[in-house]
Amino acid sequence: MDDNTEPLLVIDDLAVEFRTDEGVVKAVDGAAFTIDRGEIVGVVGESGSGKSVTAMSILGLVKSGRRVRGAIRFRGRDLGTLPAKELRSIRGAEIAMIFQDPMTALNPVVTIGRQIVEALRLHDKRLSKAAARDRAIELLALVGMPDAAARFKQFPHEFSGGMRQRAMIAMAIANGPSLLIADEPTTALDVTIQAQVLDLLKVAQQETQAATLLITHDLGVVAELADRVVVMYAGRVVEQGDVTTVFTAPRHPYTVGLLESLPRLDRDVDELHPIPGSPPSLLAPPPGCPFHPRCPLARDRCRTERPELRVVGNGTAVHRTACHFAEELAAVPTEVTR
Amino acid sequence: MTAFVVRRILVNIIVFILIGIGVFLLVRAAPGDPVRMMIRPEDLQEGSEAFIQGRREELGLNDPILVQYARWFLDALTGDLGSSFISRQPVSGLLAERLGPTILLMSTALGISLLIAIPLGTVAAIRRNTSVDYAAAALSLGVISIPSFFLGIVAIYVFSLQLGWLPSSGMSTPGGGGGTDVLQHLIMPAAILGLAGAGPLTRYVRGSLIDELSADYVRTAEAKGGSPARVVTRHALRNSLIPLITIIMINIPQMLAGAVVLEQVFAWPGMGQLAVRAVTQQDYPVIVGFALYVAALVLICNLIADIAYAIVDPRVKVS
Amino acid sequence: MSDLRPSLDTPDVAAAEEVVAAEATATGVRTQRRSPAAMAVRRFKRNKVAVAGGVFLLIILVLALFAPLIAQQSPTAVDLGQIRRPPSGEHWLGTDASGRDVFARLLYAARVSLLVGVFAALVSVLLGTVIGAVAGLFGGWVDTLLMRTADMVLSFPPIVVIIVLAGLLGPSIPILIIAIAATTWPTPARLVRGVTLTVREREYLHAARVAGASRGWLLRKHIVPAAMGQIVVVGTLLVAQAILAEAVLSFLGLGVQPPQASWGNMLNDAQSLTVIQSMPWLWLPPGLAIAATVLAVNFVGDGLRDAVDPRQSGRS
């Protein structure tokens, strides 16, 4: 049934707008990238870069926003034009999501077990309650929940944050999805728990062989898990490529800035360089390159002409950037982050 | 939890005693002599002044106020609220026989309120700013603006007098009877009382459901592939109706006020009708008895509301 | 952080303007164009339903004030030769059981109903303001005691309490007003207490208190002005509640006593089936008058609430 010539998921020139009292907010403005089967892609960017809206748009979960342009094709089908019922048969079955805050993403008045059973039975009507229960307990055990049978009957508030996120992951992989979307899966957790959940995500990915879209602002998470990275800024993709290439030889000044603002063991704290300025207003984005007000390389062309995503470098993996002067960055030696 | 419940019960008992003192003092401050009240004016004649003084002495009305209060309080504790000035029957018995009809009226009305408010509030929340939402808002505003006794009169005019469908007064047809007969008498007062209660309840359901619909777990349920109906009923509504017992308990005293008035309009033989008659006849023992019943009802509802709120929500349980 | 934020967190422009204006007045700078009150008036004027309610109330008020000029008949003149007559050229809305002109009574009753409504709300707001300010300014056990009492009073249904009070103290207009105020003060009290607590925290008040200002001065100069908008809203909604309470009590015979007319006691006759059946002119006009007036007051109250606090607007 697959159209094997196209990647699993294609996001093509996606634009999502929100109407507010003050005008139209262009949260996503022409984002484009793809995910192959079994691949882990990290999408990074500051708050307001459009990464979460892009992720939510895949399953049509952006409530007040309006898709004004572009397509999201999954196995060749445009998810935006699918009838509601067909989209629902994909949600939670072929594409599953893991949300940021496990404290609020689970229904507080329904037991963990019933929430997983619901996910199972929604997509397999023939599954008996008893069988669904057994499967749910199996899943809880799989995500490393001790005493899964007892945990099955408990409410979310009886779980710790990390345990909740484990339950959330169990629920997401319940139907063996071919695409997992994890929206800031570790941001709301304690640092010590973050590593455990990341390990679990790795295990879950290996178990299901699901392609994974990892939305995060944490470059460390991307470095650890992802095969490829997509950098977003002001609703657009500004750079993408495989993780090693992008992190060792970034070709967009924003990516360079992100990497330099990262605390590292081989550098003194006073050498941290946060990116000056703040993200642009999405109500009235600056003309030309949206990054130009904060960019050290900015010149006249950047203020008028919007750079398109183009191939750079000469490596084997495809590396793209949306900067007029990417080649100048190539001359600057950047340090390896890993 | 137990400590919380015990403390709440103790506080409510103290408040009840304070209300008792207040009502007692009001009665003593009220114009008119209780003994004269008990005597028909036409029976008043020469020499009755001495008789009245004797009766006052007998009844202890000349004792210090504290002694009088203590006696009244101890009597009230044993369920003795005195006798009606008018019918001479014990007040506790009079009120007890009126309790049943009032409870029947109020519980039916409460059921009607919920049957209107939950679906209407739900649809209004899902379809915000549509005609259903505006209809719900109009209902809420209408029922707090149109006096229920006027609605009752209009209903009697239309359904009893013009259409002849429903009886206009009482709880049953003299000589006739049976469940359907009572039901026919019940429909109009209960429906109007229910409608009045549905107004604020609809607002509550709508508001809390709107809050819940924007919660993260609702998005999770959608991401799992749940249908809109399922997401609303199994997830959002479940959460928004958790404090429902509390809301209902807070609304019951307000509903009682409506019942008192409607019982008068429909000659429904409940406590409200008894109380209004007692007030017009200055039948103090009955008024006091009614006041204590109402106070007890309000305090019990408050207590249940507090406890229910603490128990039902699994989120509150641990903390 | 969700990327939805820019669309959700964007502050309301009107609210922001208001904050700026409020700060300007607070620091003593008079801003002619954008005082909070002027902005509230502007917002209120845009609300058509509220303005319609206000116009309706004005008409009722004029009819009530000029009742002697408008009504051809006396509202209390008994004419036993002309009882329960249907509407005619002479008696526009017919006559009641004592042969009194219903139209005249309707107009004069508006005076009583509006008077009771406004006075009861006024007493309630005054009482609530003082209690709320005392609770907020003194704090500690005074605050706890007053607010617990307020919660308790609020949980009792006003109509029932008023029935008991009217029963024990005898029915009359002053008792009615006091009884309504005694059961409704907690709403303005809670509001003023809240405002007092916020105002008390503000820097300029600390300075004012250090300068030896009395609590009464604080109340007049800082708390009441800060709470005024919301007090007006609560007061308006209380007027609606009080008009209804008067109507109910007078209908039951426990409020305004005949021969004086009030909308409620005009409906008192409608407890007989004969009257309901064949004399609708006796009960329909006062009933409609109550409903329309209370509805109009509620419209105005809702409009004022949205005007005073635009962030709460969009019906709740």
Mean pLDDT, to the nearest integer, of C212-218? 70
Give the percent of chain B with pLDDT over 70: 90
Banded model confidence at residue B315, pLDDT cuts 50, 70, 90: low
Residue B225's pLDDT is what? 87
Q: Is the dihedral of CA A241, A246, A249, A254 positive or negative?
A: positive
Residue with tokens 């020139």: A13
Residue C54's pLDDT is what? 87
Report how far residue B135's alpha carbon sits from residue B130's, in angstroms, rounded to the nearest whole number.
Answer: 9
List the single range of A55-59, A119-123, A326-330, C6-10 with lowest mean pLDDT.
C6-10
pLDDT surpassing 90 at residue A229: yes
Q: Does any CB of chain C come closer than 8 Å to the CB of residue A280?
A: no
For the ranges A183-187, A248-252, B118-122, the maximum mean pLDDT occurs at B118-122
Query: Where are the alpha helices (H) located in chain C, listed in sequence order?
Result: 5-9, 13-26, 36-46, 48-65, 67-70, 102-138, 140-155, 158-169, 173-184, 186-201, 203-210, 215-218, 224-251, 263-266, 273-278, 280-308
Banded model confidence at residue B238, pLDDT cuts 50, 70, 90: confident
Question: Is there a contact between C254 and C167 (Cβ–Cβ < 8 Å)?
Answer: yes
In a domain? residue B141: yes
pLDDT surpassing 60 at residue A190: yes
Nearest CA distance, A326 vs chain B (angstrom): 39
Report how far residue C308's alpha carbon sits from residue C18's, in angstroms, rounded to the nearest whole number.
Answer: 10
Residue C208's pLDDT is what? 64
Report how far residue A182's alpha carbon sits from residue A41's, in angstroms, rounded to the nearest whole number.
Answer: 10
Closest CA to C215 of C120, C299, C135, C106: C135
Residue C7's pLDDT is what? 29
pLDDT surpassing 90 at residue B189: yes
| Residues C5 and C82 reside in one and the same domain | no
Distance of CA A266 to the CA centre of its chain: 28
Q: Say if the Cβ atoms of B153 and C276 lie within 8 Å.
A: yes
| Residues C58 and C27 reside in one and the same domain | no
Q: At what angle do helices C173-184 and C158-169 cross, to 10 degrees?
A: 140
The structural architecture, per CATH, of the domain A9-226 is 3-Layer(aba) Sandwich (3.40)
Q: Does any CB of chain B come closer than 8 Å to the CB of residue A127?
A: no
Report how far residue A82's alpha carbon sits from residue A86's, in angstroms, rounded to the nearest whole number.
Answer: 6
- CATH number at C123 reads 1.10.3720.10
For the ranges A80-84, C43-47, C189-193, the maximum mean pLDDT occurs at C189-193
Residue B191's pLDDT is what? 94
Closest-CA residue of chain A to C12: A21
pLDDT surpassing 90 at residue B112: yes
In a domain? residue B30: no
pLDDT surpassing 50 at residue C200: yes
Mean pLDDT, to the nearest integer, of B10-23? 89
Report how far residue C1's alpha carbon sits from residue A52's, in angstroms, rounded to the nearest whole number.
Answer: 9
Q: Does any CB of chain C come closer than 8 Å to the CB of residue A321?
A: no
Q: Say if the Cβ atoms of A92 and B215 lie within 8 Å.
A: no
Residue B4's pLDDT is what? 81
Domain hosting residue C3, numbered range:
1-32
Banded model confidence at residue B36, pLDDT cuts 50, 70, 90: low
Mean pLDDT, to the nearest integer, of A227-232? 92
Question: What is the overall mean pLDDT for chain C?
Answer: 77
Residue A315's pLDDT is what? 61
pLDDT surpassing 60 at residue C313: no
Q: Which residue has the higher pLDDT, B47 or A60?
A: A60
Q: What is the DSSP letter of C87?
A: P
- Summarised one tens digit per residue, pLDDT across range A38-76 is 899 999 988 888 888 998 898 888 877 788 888 899 988
Banded model confidence at residue A314, pLDDT cuts 50, 70, 90: low
- Summarised one tens digit per residue, pLDDT across range B267-309 is 889 999 999 988 888 788 888 889 998 999 999 998 888 888 7
| Residues C126 and C16 reside in one and the same domain | no
Q: Say if the Cβ atoms of A105 and B224 lie within 8 Å.
A: no
Question: What is the overall mean pLDDT for chain A?
Answer: 85
What would the DSSP string read from start to end of C221-240?
IIIHHHHHHHHHHHHHHHHH
Q: Is A32 helix (H, G, I), strand (E, B) or coil?
A: strand
Distance of CA B103 to the CA centre of its chain: 9
Mean pLDDT, to the nearest integer, of B175-201? 86
Report how far residue C84's alpha carbon sits from residue C275's, in angstroms, rounded to the nearest whole number.
Answer: 9
Helix and strand numbers, DSSP H then E, in chain B: 15, 0
Residue A269's pLDDT is what? 54
Q: Domain tally for chain C?
A: 2
With contacts defined as CB-CB under 8 Å, which chain C residues touch A282? 6
| Residues C28 and C151 reside in one and the same domain | no
ipTM (interface predicted TM): 0.84
Strands (E) located in chain A: 9-20, 23-35, 40-44, 66-74, 77-78, 95-98, 179-183, 211-216, 228-233, 236-242, 310-312, 319-321
In a domain? residue B315: no
pLDDT surpassing 80 at residue B316: no
Residue C11's pLDDT is what? 33
Q: Which residue has the higher pLDDT, C161 or C39?
A: C161
Residue B188's pLDDT is what? 92
CA distances from C91 to C65, C83, C285 (A): 20, 11, 14
Q: How would you label C6-42 residue by residue, b for 16+ Cβ within 10 Å and e otherwise?
A: bbeebeeeeeeebeebbeeeeeeeeeeeebbeebbee
Domain boundaries of chain A, sorted by first residue: 9-226, 232-328
CA angle C254, C258, C261 (to 5 degrees): 100
Closest CA to C192 of C133, C234, C257, C270: C133
| Residues C250 and C293 reside in one and the same domain | yes
Q: Does any CB of chain C come closer than 8 Å to the CB of residue A30?
A: no
pLDDT surpassing 50 at residue B317: no
Q: Is A229 helix (H, G, I), strand (E, B) or coil?
A: strand
Residue C40's pLDDT is what? 78
Residue C17's pLDDT is what? 37
Indicate the pTM of the whole model: 0.80
List chains touching A (3+ CB pairs under 8 A). B, C
Q: Which residue has the higher pLDDT, C273 or B132?
A: B132
Report how far residue B234's alpha carbon sits from residue B223's, in angstroms, rounded to the nearest whole number.
Answer: 14
Question: Is there a contact between B118 and B206 (Cβ–Cβ < 8 Å)?
Answer: no
Residue C42's pLDDT is what? 81
Q: Count chain B–chain C contacts defined by CB atoms under 8 A.
A: 126
| Residues C180 and C302 reside in one and the same domain | yes
Q: Which residue has the higher pLDDT, C216 or C179?
A: C179
Residue B31's pLDDT is what? 67
In a domain? residue B3: no
CA angle B177, B180, B183 (to 5 degrees): 105
Report how far residue A111's alpha carbon sits from residue A158's, in angstroms, rounded to the nearest whole number.
Answer: 10
Nearest CA distance, A53 vs chain C (angstrom): 6
| Residues C10 and C60 reside in one and the same domain | no
Q: Is the dihedral of CA B281, B285, B290, B292 positive or negative?
A: positive
Q: What is the DSSP letter of B232?
A: I
| Residues C102 and C181 reside in one and the same domain | yes
| Residues C19 and C44 reside in one and the same domain | no
Q: Domain tally for chain B?
A: 1
- CATH number at B267 reads 1.10.3720.10
Mean pLDDT, to the nearest integer, of C198-221? 69
List the single range of A225-229, B42-46, B58-62, B234-238 with lowest mean pLDDT.
B42-46
